[in-house]
Structure 1
Amino acid sequence: MRAGLLRHRITLQAPMHQPGEWGGADATEWQDVATVWAAVEPIAGREFFAAAQAQSEVTHRVRIRSRSDVRADMRVSFGGRVLTIDAVLSLDGGEMHLMCKEMN
């Protein structure tokens, strides 16, 4: 992967489940895992419609260098936006694609 493509600074965050007050449901807080360079690309046109046919709501592809600690229950914080990770795809050449959905 060419370094010039990785022009966005993102933060990978993992969920930290904490017991709810008075024994209620768990509250989820997010902990920063790593801040890395990435290429954040909106899914457009044909790609979006192909993803929609697979019952997916993927809106962005985030390309990063391969890491062993990235999981599908994590999220990406990017420029005041939050993207939840739907799928983690490891590719040849030390590259990883995170298929994400933007939270409103």
Structure 2
Amino acid sequence: MVRAGSLNHPLSLQERQMGRNPDTGAVINLGWVEVAQLFAGIEPLSGREFIASAAGQSQVVARIVTYRDPRVKRGMRFVHCDGTIYRIEAVLPDKKNGREYQTHPVSEGLNNGE
């Protein structure tokens, strides 16, 4: 169980907005749009976990825990109030009943797919 007080990092949940070029009809990236503001717990991976994730070709650097929110999807991103960008690699239900919290393995980077 996660203590509510540990969810103390303000994050912006963002998704990529796509559109069409009016001249060519091609799909274009319009940028990132905020979907919600959430509070979360951020846990950096331990050295052992980081090495294990690297062996699996993953760039996961941390786990972010939030209250359950169906708007959060893989491929979206969290932006911390300090400007750090975390790409959401997965959305995992809590171990107890899957209804209260969710865990998000995240990768970190400046552009994160922009």
Q: TM-score, normalised by structure 1?
A: 0.88
Give the length in aligned residue pairs: 104
> What does residue 73 of structure 1 align with?
75
Residues 1:100 and 2:102 aligned together:
no
Identity of aligned residues (%): 31
| Structure 1: gaps spanning 5 or more residues | none
Matches within 5 A, 1:23-62: 23=24, 24=26, 26-62=28-64
CA RMSD for the aligned pairs?
Answer: 1.6
Residues in 2 aligned to 1:22 and 1:97: alpha-carbon distance in whole angstroms: 42
Secondary structure, aligned partner of 1:40: strand
> What does residue 11 of structure 2 align with?
10
Q: TM-score, normalised by structure 2?
A: 0.81
Runs of 4+ in 1 over 4 A off after TM superposition: none
Residues 1:88 and 2:91 aligned together:
yes
Per the TM alignment, residue 8 of structure 1 is displaced from its structure 2 partner at its CA by 0.6
